[in-house]
Each structure stands twice: as C-alpha cells, then as structure tokens.
Amino acid sequence: MHRIRAFALIIPFVLTAALFGQSTGSISGTVFSSRGAVVGDATVTLVELRRAVKSAADGTFRFDNIRPGHYHISVESPREGSATGDVEVTAGQTRTMEIMVDRLVHAEEIVVSASPETRVASEVYQPVNVMDEEDIARRIQPTLGETLKQEPGVDATYFGPGSSRPIIRGLGADRIRILQEGIGTGDASNVSPDHAVSIDPASAEQIEIVRGPATLLYGSNAVGGVVNVIDQRIPSRVPASLITGNVDLRASSVAGERTGSFNLLGGQDRFAWHAGYLRRETDDYAVPGPVDELPNSSLSTDSASLGASWVATRGFVGLGVSAYNSNYGIPGGDEPVRIDLEQTRIDLKGAMNLSGLFRDVRFRAGKSGYEHVELEGSEVGTRFLNDAVEARIEAAHRDFGPLRGSFGVQVSQNDFEAMGEEAYIPPNETMTRAAFVFEELTFGAADLQFGARWEDQDASTSAAELPDRHFSGLSGSIGAILHPIENYTIAVSLARAVRLPTATELYAHGPHAATRQFEIGNPMLDEETSLGLDISLRKTAGRFNGQINLFNNEFEGYIFESPTPDIEEDLPVFRFRQSDARFRGIEIDTHVELWHRDTRHIELEAGADYVRATVAGGGNLPRITPMRLRAGLRYEAGPFSAMAEAQRYANQDDVATFEQPTEGYTLVNATVGYRFFMKSTIHDVMLRGTNLTNELARSHVSALKDLAPLPGRDIGVSYRLTF
C-alpha cells in the first residue's frame, strides 16, 4: 500500500512541470438545425478542455483563452439532435464555425477510451462501438453484460439476471477489463461468472467498447478488449445550467421489474457536484415452456453516489463516493444459492491543461471495499472479500513537429480472501506496477501510432504449500489509419500483448457451489503471449455507412479452464491449463438510409459477427459465441420513433471436449418512443418488447445454459424526465 501512496507524489511533480505560457486563441460559432434555423438550446462542449456553454437565442457560442492546437466540439440539442466537429486554434486568432445538428443522422461518436488522445470513431486505430444515452435506454437490462450483448462482437456470460459480464470476440473473464471512468471496478466479477459487475448500466451516460487488445493503456487483463462506463459521478466541468438532471421510471412484465432512479448535476462558478440513486426490484422471471417461471432468479439492487469537483480554467480536481448493493439468485440446481453483494468506493479524478513541455496531465485513483456472501439456503457457504486500490497518471507532451504522444504509470493492489467450507481460493494478494508510452505521427493521408507497456506483477498467498509468483511482460503495438478517399478510412493494428496469470488461475482448488464446479488452478502457469492483427474498413458519411472488421489473434500459452471427466465432491472437475490457441473472425455493422423527407427518416441496420477459437492440435475452446446475424428497421418522425429488429444465433457445434452443442434461436425485439416538451423540461416515454416470439433460447457461453434459459417475452415501459 505504501507504494501506491508514494505514487501519488508523482502528481504534484508533473503538475508543476509547466514551463512558459503561450498566446491563446478563440472559437466562435453558430448552431443550426437541419432545417436551417438557429438552435438556442444546445449545449456546446469543447471536449479536450472540458468546457461547456449554452448556445444563445441566436444560436451563437464562444470559447476564449484557448491554447493553440486541434480540438473536438460536441453539440447536443434535445429538440434538434447532435453533431460533432473539429477545429484548429491559432494563437491570436478567432476561428469561426457553423455546426448543423440533426436528430435523424447519428453524429460520429467521440471516443476517450481507445487512445490517450480524444478521437472521433473514424480516427481510432482499433474497432470501437459507443452507446449513448438513447442507445442504452433501448437496450437497458439489469446487468452490464446483457445491456451490451447486441453490440458487434459482444456477448455475455449470463449467470442469471443478477450477474452477466461482457464477452468480446470469445474472450471473457480476466481478459476483458471493465472500467468506470478509466480505472477498474474493484469487484470480483473477473474471478467467476456468478460474481456481478458492480456497475449498473442505468447510471451511464456513455459506454465505450474497445474490441481487440487494449493492454497498452489498461494492462495485461485487457488483452481481449475494454468496456469503459462513463458517467459524471465526479464532474469534469461546471454544467451550462445551475442544475440539470433526469428521473427514470421503468417497469416490465417478464420478471415484474420495478426500477426508479435519478441523477442530478449542478454547480456554479468553479464548483460542480453530482448526486445519484437507483433502486431495482424483480421477481423470478418467466421462461417459455411448461414451467411458468425460473425459481430463484429474482434480484434486488440499489446504488448511490455523491461527487464534487473544483473546476478552474485550466483543469479540475474532484472526489466521489459511491455504494452498490445487490442480492440475487443463481437459478437452477437442487439447492438454491443466493449472493448478497456490497461494495463501497472512494474515487479521485483530475486533469490540468498546461503550456510548455507538457500539454496536459490526467490522473485517476480509486479505493474500494468489496464483500459478497454465497447463501446456500439460510446458511452462509462462502464469503468473498476484496480490497482494491488503483491509481494512474498520464502526461501528454507538447508536439515535436508531426510527433504527438503521452506517457504514464499505473499501479494496483488487490487483497482477496475467501472464507468458509467451500472457500476454493486461498487468501492472496496481487500487486501490479506498469509504465506505458504512446506516440503518433501524421503524414498527410496517413496516421501512425506506436507504443509499449511494461508490466510487473507479484502474486502471493498465505497458503504455505503454494508458491508466491513473480511475472513481468513487455507489450507493444503499431497501427496505421489511411484515408484513401473522402469519408473512407482503413485502420490496421498489430499488437503483441503479454497477459500475466491471475491468483484464481494459480491458486484455486476446491468446490464452488455457485458455478457447480470443482475448480483446480495451476501454480506453475507462465505468462500468456498473444499477437493480434486487426483490419477495419470504415465509411463515415453518406446514405450508407458502417464498418467491416477482420481479426486474428494467436496465443502462446493461452490459459483456460478446461472441463475434465473427473468428479470431486459430486461436482465436475475443471482445471486451468495452458495451450497455444487461435481466435479469428469478422464483424460487420452497417446503416443504410432508405428514405428521408423533412423530419421523417427510415434506416436499415444490419450486421453479423463470427469468431472461431481453437487450441493447438485442432480442438475447440469452450463457451465460444456462435455466429450471429442481425437486422432492423428504424423510423423517426419528429417526436416519434420506432425500431424493430431480429437477431439470429446459429447452432454452435464447434464445441470443446465434454461440452454439449447448443441449438440456435432467433430473438425479435421492438421499441416505440415519443418525446415531448413542457417549457424547459423534456419527457421521453418508451414501450419496449424483447423476445416477442417467446422463443426458448439458451446461451452457449453461459455455464448455466441447461439450467437457466434466457427470459421469455417481455413488455416494458419507461418514462424519463430531463430538466
């Protein structure tokens, strides 16, 4: 722990490294609607500097005292839609711009998770999908995994409605890093699929999914990708209004869900604050077939957060505290198991824009205390505790000709303990230290990015018969973005990533009641190395837009939990072992404008994804997502919107030894929404149906697929008040 405290001393050193000032420039502009009228209710954000203003009645806005450089502008109008733009600021000059917002045409998303620099999606070297608040509202489920599973390349573990973690391109568990505003959640969801992610998706204003290795920025356990949940729990800017916020109410039929939440954001002068609360209750959910509902599938969740920031012209610093509690059942089995989970967090976040050697510096730190108990009937079977601390700091240096980049350091510590008769993991501690660097070069129609990350890890346990282990690894990547013609980009990235074994993979040994497995680790595991290639073709504007991604990832010493024919304590034995492995596949995501007239718009959305995962010698890896096809129609007409879609999961016959095939299924979903205004308040009403054909569906990637089918037909209604 003292190492992490020492790490905090780096922050003031870097913050005082600013050299001499430089002249500044300004940005002024006007926001127009797609009909050519000025827009007087838009929030205009200068993304890199975290500054926001409201457009005036005549649609104008202005930012002063901006250092020279390239910036992104984000514009949001509740009535007229959104847009993004970019601008180059020159010292001593005012740059003018006109921005047109449109509700019918999606603005190109701004991404903060895939690179040290803020980028729009077409400028990112890896495939990225961004879900904004409207996308989240259409897909919202009680868990993060189920909310994201219809995104390209993303599936979910589905361990019942209370626990579901994202899987990206067939990779899950500790190869997918779940982040809250850039650092880890501090929970135990990467240890086992029955452990819930301690983030409720209803609290998010944006979720970014980075597919493919993201180890350079976020560590060796991001070898498969990153899911970053972005909220305003610690405000980074003073809102344009004295107080803003929303209130959400939702209800649905399949499990009798009742959910209510609010989020408030306010401030004045240099002070900003946030407050939020959520409560969700569900009953056992209904399933197709002769059984009306699945026993022990109910859940109860509540979460709360408070945050405050001091915001100056050139930066901010803020502190937040949050709590997350959930009690949920693990469906299936003779003996019902419920999990009672509690977590509290304290977070620090800040940034400063500088002049001289450093352009800016960003820092983030969090400390969490996590506990959950597995209740077997009325008895406590196992108690899990995890105390986690993580801190990181990134500093972007000034440009040296075409060279732009940043570097950073990161440390984390996890103290994990399991207690009880079925404590299958001995107490352990994992300490990780890392340093990374990113650099970019621009050559006309091509951009190059390259970087490296060194990571060092100590894993130790109190079990005398098990050895302490030390690991280290150097990861690196190189990428290029080409702009062959207007509105088209080609992105290529090659990454060598080293993943360090986890304490669970090293030290597990014993029965795990929730997963109904006897799990055996291997204390002699070595580092896992992968070489991943991504190629993306993107079209960003016009009646047809979308992307096609091809990927191939070769693993040396891939670590996985392999089923065996053995039985221990009446449970099937799963052993962690290593083998060379290969993951390869394709993702297609397209949008086609079929008809557009005035405020009416019809769009076709279609896509597909496929991943094939094999081990050396020709065998298959277990629990890999089958091929999926999806298609949908979206209709917009002023305040009215509607969408109907179908997603087809193919049969999964490429199974591992001792694994059973899974029959394919088709899910049909639809939403109808209406938005109306009363003075300065916005009201959104949505009717949503999922699995409308009430098809019996079993997720191949779920360890409970034979015990817990996916929910049946669900009709839900939601109401959101925004002010």
- DSSP string computed for 226-242: EEEEE--SS-SS--SSS
Predicted confidence band of residue 182 (pLDDT cuts 50, 70, 90)? very high
pLDDT tens digits, residue range 479-493?
999 998 888 999 999
Which of 2.40.30.110, 2.40.170.20, 3.30.479.10, 3.90.950.20 is the CATH number of 113-722? 2.40.170.20
Q: What is the pLDDT of residue 9?
A: 43
Q: Is residue 583's pLDDT more than 50?
A: yes
Predicted confidence band of residue 679 (pLDDT cuts 50, 70, 90)? confident
Q: What is the pLDDT of residue 354?
A: 85
Which of 1.10.10.10, 2.60.40.10, 3.20.20.70, 3.40.1280.30 is the CATH number of 10-103? 2.60.40.10
Sheet holding 183-184, edge to edge: 128-132, 206-211, 225-230, 176-180, 183-184
Residues of the chain with CATH 2.60.40.10: 10-103
Q: Among 329-333, 359-363, 438-442, 501-505, which stretch is predicted with the lowest mean pLDDT?
A: 329-333
Q: Is residue 450's pLDDT more than 50?
A: yes
Q: Is residue 17's pLDDT more than 70?
A: no
How far is it, in rounded angstroms, from Cα 176 to Cα 198?
A: 15
Q: Is residue 20's pLDDT more than 70?
A: no
Give the residue-averaged pLDDT of 78-83: 87
Q: What is the pLDDT of residue 121?
A: 83
Give the residue-averaged pLDDT of 380-406: 92
**Where are the strands (E) in 468-599, listed by range?**
469-482, 488-499, 509-512, 517-520, 528-539, 544-568, 571-597
How far is it, in rounded angstroms, from Cα 279 to Cα 25?
A: 47
Give the residue-averaged pLDDT of 30-43: 90
Q: Among 440-444, 449-453, 465-469, which stretch is predicted with the lowest mean pLDDT?
A: 440-444
User: What's the helix, strand, coil split of the chain in %, to 5?
Assistant: 5, 60, 35
Residues of the chain with CATH 2.40.170.20: 113-722
Predicted confidence band of residue 118 (pLDDT cuts 50, 70, 90)? confident
Q: Look up residue 462 and give its DSSP letter.
A: S
Q: Is residue 1's pLDDT more than 80?
A: no
pLDDT tens digits, residue range 619-666?
999 999 999 999 999 999 989 999 999 999 999 999 998 889 999 999
- Which among 88-92, 334-338, 612-616 has the top mean pLDDT? 612-616
Q: What is the pLDDT of residue 340?
A: 95
Bigger pLDDT: 450 vs 541: 450
Helix (H) or strand (E) holding 675: strand 665-678
Predicted confidence band of residue 617 (pLDDT cuts 50, 70, 90)? confident
Tokens matching residue 218: 């976020």
Instruction: Compute the residue count for the chain.
Output: 723
Q: What is the pLDDT of residue 106?
A: 65
Which residues partner with 718 through β-bridges? 250, 686
What percent of the chain stands above pLDDT 90? 71
| Mean per-residue pLDDT over the chain, rounded | 91
Q: Is residue 581's pLDDT more than 60?
A: yes
Q: Is residue 615's pLDDT more than 80?
A: yes
How far is it, in rounded angstroms, from Cα 371 to Cα 188?
A: 9
At residue 216's C-alpha, the angle toward residues 164 and 581, to 5°, is 65
Predicted confidence band of residue 41 (pLDDT cuts 50, 70, 90)? confident
Cβ–Cβ < 8 Å for 658, 619: no
Give the residue-averaged pLDDT of 71-82: 89
What percent of the chain stands above pLDDT 70? 96
Which residues partner with 288 through β-bridges? none
pLDDT tens digits, residue range 517-575?
899 999 999 999 999 999 999 998 888 999 999 999 999 999 998 888 899 998 999 99
Q: What is the pLDDT of residue 11?
A: 45
Q: Is residue 595's pLDDT more than 80?
A: yes
How far is it, in rounded angstroms, from Cα 170 to Cα 172?
A: 7
Q: Is residue 110's pLDDT more than 50?
A: yes
- What is the identity of the amino acid at 331? P
Q: What is the pLDDT of residue 21?
A: 43
Q: What is the pLDDT of residue 22?
A: 53
Distances in whole angstroms, Cα of residue 562 to Cα of each of 248, 613, 659, 660: 43, 14, 10, 14
At residue 208's C-alpha, the angle toward residues 186 and 648, to 5°, is 110
Give the residue-averaged pLDDT of 412-422: 90
Q: What is the pLDDT of residue 16?
A: 39
**Residues whose CB is less than 8 angstroms from the CB of residue 620 and which lie 6 or more positions away in sequence, other chains included:** 613, 614, 654, 655, 656, 659
Predicted confidence band of residue 148 (pLDDT cuts 50, 70, 90)? very high
pLDDT tens digits, residue range 273-312?
999 999 999 999 999 988 889 999 999 999 999 999 999 9
User: What is the value of pTM for the model shown?
Assistant: 0.91
